[in-house]
């Protein structure tokens, strides 16, 4: 039985101000666990947002250039199997040095 997962951010302190730079995966596409689905920016660095589980990314709630509200859902993924707890995602810095 499929279940719906709402892609959200993990709590960070302080919470960075992100902007969605690019959706890497269009709605209607299957994603794998850990696959990069979007690029975010905090104004000086870029970050990848990863899919926390395998499923069908069915809807984006943001478009390129939109500010990201850390308390809002970014995308919706439909996954197979029984519903289970899944940790929110923390963006990963692109090319950390």
Per-residue pLDDT of the chain (97 residues; tens, 9 = 90+): 788 999 988 877 777 899 999 999 999 999 999 999 999 999 999 999 999 999 999 999 999 999 998 888 999 999 988 777 777 777 888 875 5
Residue 20 to residue 48: CA distance in whole angstroms: 10
CATH architecture of 3-84: Beta Barrel (2.40)
State the burial class of residue 77 (Cβ atoms within 10 Å of its Cβ: 0-12, 13-18, 19+).
buried
Show me where the domains of the chain are located: 3-84
């Amino acid at each position: 039985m499929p279940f719906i997962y709402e892609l959200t951010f993990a709590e960070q302190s302080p919470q960075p101000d992100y902007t969605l730079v690019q959706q890497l995966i269009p709605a209607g596409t299957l994603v794998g666990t850990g696959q990069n689905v979007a690029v975010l920016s905090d104004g000086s660095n870029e970050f990848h947002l990863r899919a926390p589980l395998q499923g069908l990314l069915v809807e984006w709630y943001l478009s390129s250039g939109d500010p990201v509200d850390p308390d809002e859902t970014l995308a919706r993924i439909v996954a197979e199997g029984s519903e289970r707890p899944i940790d929110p995602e923390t963006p990963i810095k692109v090319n950390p040095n």
